[in-house]
């Protein structure tokens, strides 16, 4: 079988992906520590600030996360064909068909409906994750700047008091962990059942498509 | 208990409730459990009040003022009720020869039993001639009284470490009590002035347990000087977050931010001021917007000045506080993302202009896709 190399992801999208992924890992690790500062009784002493440094890393990663999301938002509108919103959102007839075909494919029933970019099912989940990320950013900045009129305004309107926002911020984190688990599993699964270089594409930008 | 000074001045009796309250406060300050309160009450209520000789040397009487003018009136009264203050130049009625007789009689009668409280530094230069009472030098008075005392309580930074008199160049050779007396138990209640509750706590500890409280290596009781101001400071969160007063009267000052940058010496000073507050009115310097000057530390006039400049090499998490540092780094991160978007947009626009394409939307998109491909 002959394959053809085609560029799927621009440099900017790949940078976005890794900034987003690594910031999430950092946010989860430091966030769980802030939630449950388990070392504080062992390490707390003069001139050591385990909690302060965990929070510091959390805030830094939060800014990286925000910056990454900004880039993705830009690419949804101005990116290459695969990165654009209309390319894979299940709102056009062919994308709706792809959405259901992908479900069947994942259930080992149908055949893969090949796409150079995202399949419609994955993209739908990405949109949900995108919206969750927006929620994390708003709750996060609301918690970081409790005195800021701007963040307090949005935070109160959308998520309630500091404590409610903190609770939701924590719950949303579990959604990200769940997403990361499924995401990695499906990428590896795809790599096995439909060889197109999906994993390497997020490093190199290129996928391999069957020559017709 | 009345906080009304005028009324309490008219009523010289100490009611039972106030007495128990003061004993409980002292027990709390000493870090004792509530089970110990009855023992303290018993010791304090004992009719055998220990005689106290209070010596004044090089000082401003501020320590006595702090003790007597505590706005919680019961403590001052308790001090006068539970101890037998036989000699105290500021408050005693006697004067002149009568006063000297009083001192002489007390130390003779209660040899080895009385408590000696010293307020003020002792000058040693030129035979100690720079402080004389009744024609005798402070040095000789101390050397006469101290060996006969059961224990010595040095009150105030002058009596403990020399205080302002000992500040460089120390013209009178002033020193604290423990530089002269070595063979007696000495407790240092340092501070300028020290908190009356720390003195009271030490006295009650002595009455209850018949020994002086445990001290740090500078002779200060651990119950009061065991932790740093910084560790219990109500403004500590602002330090960790990086919210500082940059100048007295600025926005941060109005908001109650950390005073470290305007010279607070809390990170290097051991005292319980943030916990017990001062003069029983619920405030202390930092709570009213002035940094700690480190008055409980030896030689603070030399080592803690200038008072309004920040201490060197105190670790602030994240260098400038976690929120401030994360914020400035965050601005850079967001800026880099914006720049990346800008470069991407500029390349896209540049290419389209270069192609001179004036087509409709769909072919343009495909052009861009193939452009991106050729970019690699």
CA atoms within 13 A on the CB side of B204: 34
Cβ contact B248:B290 at 8 Å: no
Residue B208, pLDDT > 90, answer no
Give the confidence band of B78 by pLDDT, cuts at 50, 70, 90: low
Q: What is the pLDDT of residue B154?
A: 95
Question: Left (φ > 0), alpha (ψ -120 to 50) or beta: where does A47 sit?
Answer: left
| Cα gap A122→A148, rounded to integer Å | 36
Q: What are phi and psi of A127, to 5 degrees?
A: -65, -40
**Contact between chains at B317 and A81 (C-beta distance less than 8 A):** no
Residue of A nearest to B370 (CA): A7
- On whether any CB of chain A is under 8 Å from the CB of B348, the answer is yes
**Three-state secondary structure call for residue B93:** coil
Cross-chain residue pair A78–B348, CB shorter than 8 Å:
yes
Which of helix, strand or coil describes residue B359?
coil
Q: What is the DSSP letter of B162?
A: -
Q: Is the dihedral of CA B160, B163, B165, B171 positive or negative?
A: positive
**What pLDDT shows up at residue B359?**
43
Q: Choose the closest CB to A144 out of B323, B325, B338.
A: B323
Residues of chain A positioned with their CB less than 8 A from the CB of B326: 56, 59-60, 62-63
Q: Which residue of A has its CA nearest to B376?
A: A7
CATH number at residue A185: 1.20.950.20
B residues 227-286 closer than 8 Å to A (CB) = 240
pLDDT for residue B274: 92
A45 lies within 8 A of chain B by CB: no
Name the residue of chain B whose CA is nearest to A46's CA: B231
- Indicate if the pLDDT at residue B322 is higher than 70: yes
The predicted structure's pLDDT at residue B365: 43
B124, pLDDT greater than 60: yes
Query: Which pair of tokens denotes residue B149?
Result: 């005392």
Q: What's the domain count of chain A?
A: 1
Residue A212 in any domain: the answer is no
Q: How much is the average pLDDT of B200-215?
A: 85
A150 near B CB under 8 A:
no
Residue A211 lies in a domain: no
pLDDT at B10: 45
ipTM value for the complex: 0.77
Which phi and psi angles does A108 have, rounded to 5°?
A: 60, 30
CB contact A62 to B (< 8 Å): yes
Residue B1 has pLDDT above 70, yes or no: no
Q: Tell me whether residues B330 and A59 touch, CB distance under 8 A.
A: yes
Residue B219's pLDDT is what?
92
Query: Smallest CA–CA separation between B302 and chain A, in Å?
Result: 24
Please list the residue range(s) of chain B that carry CATH number 3.40.50.700. Answer: 5-225
Report if residue A210 sits inside a domain: no
Task: State the DSSP code for B287.
Answer: G
The pLDDT score that the predictor gives to residue A181 is: 96
Which range is least confidently modeled, A38-42, A88-92, B121-125, B164-168?
A38-42
Asked if B373 lies within 8 A of A68 by C-beta distance, the reply is no
- Whether residue A103 lies inside any domain: the answer is yes
CATH number of B229-316: 4.10.480.10
Beta partners for B8?
A: none
Among B144-148, B158-162, B321-325, which is the least confidently predicted range? B321-325
Does A7 lie at the interface with B, CB-CB under 8 angstroms? yes
Distance from CA of B240 to the nearest CA of A (A): 7
User: Which residue among A56, A74, A78 places its CB closest to the CB of B317?
Assistant: A56
Among A6, A55, A67, the residue with its CB nearest the CB of B337 is A67
Whether residue B49 is predicted with pLDDT greater than 80 in this model: the reply is no
**pLDDT value at position B370?**
42
**Mean pLDDT computed over B155-176:** 94
Question: Which residues 82-101 of A have a C-beta within 8 angstroms of B?
Answer: 82, 84
Q: What percent of chain B has pLDDT over 90?
A: 43
Q: What is the pLDDT of residue B79?
A: 58
Mean pLDDT of B180-188: 93
Superfamily of B5-225 according to CATH: NADH:ubiquinone oxidoreductase-like, 20kDa subunit (3.40.50.700)
At B248-285, the pLDDT tens digits run 999 999 999 999 999 999 988 999 999 888 766 778 99
Region(s) of chain B under CATH 4.10.480.10: 229-316
Q: What is the mean pLDDT of residues B332-360?
A: 82
**Residue that wins the pLDDT comparison between B151 and B208:** B151
Quote the pLDDT of residue A91. 92
CB-based contact, A78 to chain B, within 8 Å: yes
CB contact (8 A) between residue B322 and residue A53: yes
pLDDT in tens, B224-241: 998 889 989 999 989 888
Closest residue of chain B to A207, computed from CA coordinates: B373
Other C-beta atoms lying within 10 Å of the C-beta of residue A142: 25
Chain B environment of A88 (Cβ under 8 Å) = none
Q: Is B337 on the interface with A (CB under 8 A)?
A: yes
Chain A residues near residue B348 by CB distance under 8 angstroms: 78
Distance (Å) from the alpha carbon of A160 to chain B's nearest alpha carbon: 23
A-chain CB neighbours of B323 within 8 Å are 59, 144
Residue B74 has pLDDT above 60, yes or no: no
Helix boundaries (H) for chain B: 5-10, 16-29, 37-45, 62-68, 73-82, 96-109, 138-145, 156-161, 196-209, 222-225, 229-232, 236-241, 251-254, 273-276, 300-303, 322-355, 361-375
Contacts of A209 by beta carbon, 8 Å cutoff, 6+ apart: A3, A4, A6, A114, A116, A196
**What is the domain range of residue A13?**
7-205
Q: What is the pLDDT of residue B71?
A: 52
| Dihedral sign for Cα atoms in the order A20, A21, A23, A28 | positive
The structure tokens listed for B83 are: 């101890």
Q: Please report, in tens digits, the pLDDT of each residue of chain A (212 residues total).
A: 788 899 999 999 999 999 999 999 999 999 999 888 777 666 655 567 788 889 999 999 999 999 999 999 999 999 999 999 999 999 999 999 999 999 999 999 988 888 899 999 999 999 999 999 999 999 999 999 888 889 988 899 999 899 899 999 999 999 999 999 999 999 999 988 888 889 999 999 999 988 87
């Amino acid at each position: 079988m002959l394959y053809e190399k085609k560029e799927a992801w621009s440099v900017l999208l790949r940078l976005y992906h890794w900034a987003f992924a690594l910031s999430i890992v950092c946010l989860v690790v430091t966030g769980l520590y802030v939630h449950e500062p388990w070392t504080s009784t062992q390490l707390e002493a003069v001139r050591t600030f385990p909690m302060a440094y965990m929070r510091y890393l959390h805030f830094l990663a939060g800014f990286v996360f925000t910056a990454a999301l900004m880039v993705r938002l830009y690419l949804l509108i101005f990116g290459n064909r695969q990165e654009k919103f209309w390319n894979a959102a299940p709102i056009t007839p062919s994308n709706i068909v792809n959405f259901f075909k992908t479900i069947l494919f994942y259930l080992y029933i149908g055949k893969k409906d090949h796409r150079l970019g995202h399949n419609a099912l994955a993209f739908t989940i990405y949109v949900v994750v995108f919206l969750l990320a927006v929620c994390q950013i708003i709750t996060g900045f609301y918690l970081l700047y409790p005195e800021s009129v701007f963040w307090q305004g949005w935070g109160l309107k959308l998520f309630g008091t500091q404590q409610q926002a903190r609770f939701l911020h924590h719950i949303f984190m579990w959604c990200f962990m769940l997403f990361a688990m499924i995401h990695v599993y499906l990428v590896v699964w795809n790599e096995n059942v439909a060889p197109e270089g999906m994993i390497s594409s997020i490093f190199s930008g290129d996928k391999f498509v069957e020559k017709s | 208990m009345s906080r009304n000074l005028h009324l309490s001045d008219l009523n010289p009796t100490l009611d039972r409730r106030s007495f128990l309250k003061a004993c409980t406060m002292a027990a709390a300050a000493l870090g004792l459990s509530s089970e110990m309160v009855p023992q303290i009450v018993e010791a304090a209520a004992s009719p055998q009040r220990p005689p106290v000789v209070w010596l004044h040397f090089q000082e401003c009487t501020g320590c006595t003022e702090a003790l007597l003018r505590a706005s919680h009136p019961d403590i001052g009264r308790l001090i006068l009720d539970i101890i037998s203050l036989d000699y105290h130049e500021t408050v005693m009625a006697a004067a002149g020869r009568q006063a000297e007789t009083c001192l002489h009689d007390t130390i003779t009668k209660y040899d080895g039993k009385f408590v000696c409280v010293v307020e003020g530094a002792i000058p040693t230069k030129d035979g100690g001639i720079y402080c004389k009472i009744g024609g005798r030098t402070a040095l000789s008075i101390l050397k006469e009284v101290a060996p006969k005392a059961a224990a010595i309580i040095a009150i105030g930074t002058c009596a403990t470490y020399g205080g302002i008199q000992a500040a460089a160049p120390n013209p009178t050779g002033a020193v604290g009590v423990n530089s002269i007396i070595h063979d007696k138990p000495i407790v240092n209640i340092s501070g300028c002035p020290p908190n009356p509750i720390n003195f009271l706590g030490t006295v009650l500890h002595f009455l209850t347990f018949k020994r002086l409280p445990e001290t740090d290596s500078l002779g200060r009781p651990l119950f009061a000087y065991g932790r740093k101001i910084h560790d219990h400071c109500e403004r500590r969160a602002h330090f960790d977050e990086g919210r500082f007063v940059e100048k007295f009267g600025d926005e941060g000052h109005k908001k109650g931010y950390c005073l470290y940058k305007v010279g607070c010496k809390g990170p290097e000073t051991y005292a319980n001021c943030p916990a017990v507050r001062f003069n029983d009115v619920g405030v202390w310097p930092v709570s009213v917007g002035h940094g700690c000057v480190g008055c409980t530390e030896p030689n603070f006039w030399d080592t803690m000045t200038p008072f309004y400049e920040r201490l060197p090499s105190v670790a602030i998490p994240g260098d400038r506080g976690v929120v401030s540092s994360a914020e400035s780094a965050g601005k850079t991160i967001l800026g880099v993302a914006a720049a990346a978007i800008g470069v991407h947009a500029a390349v896209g626009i540049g290419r389209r202009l270069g192609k001179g394409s004036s087509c409709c939307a769909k072919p343009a998109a495909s052009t861009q896709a193939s452009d991106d491909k050729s970019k690699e």
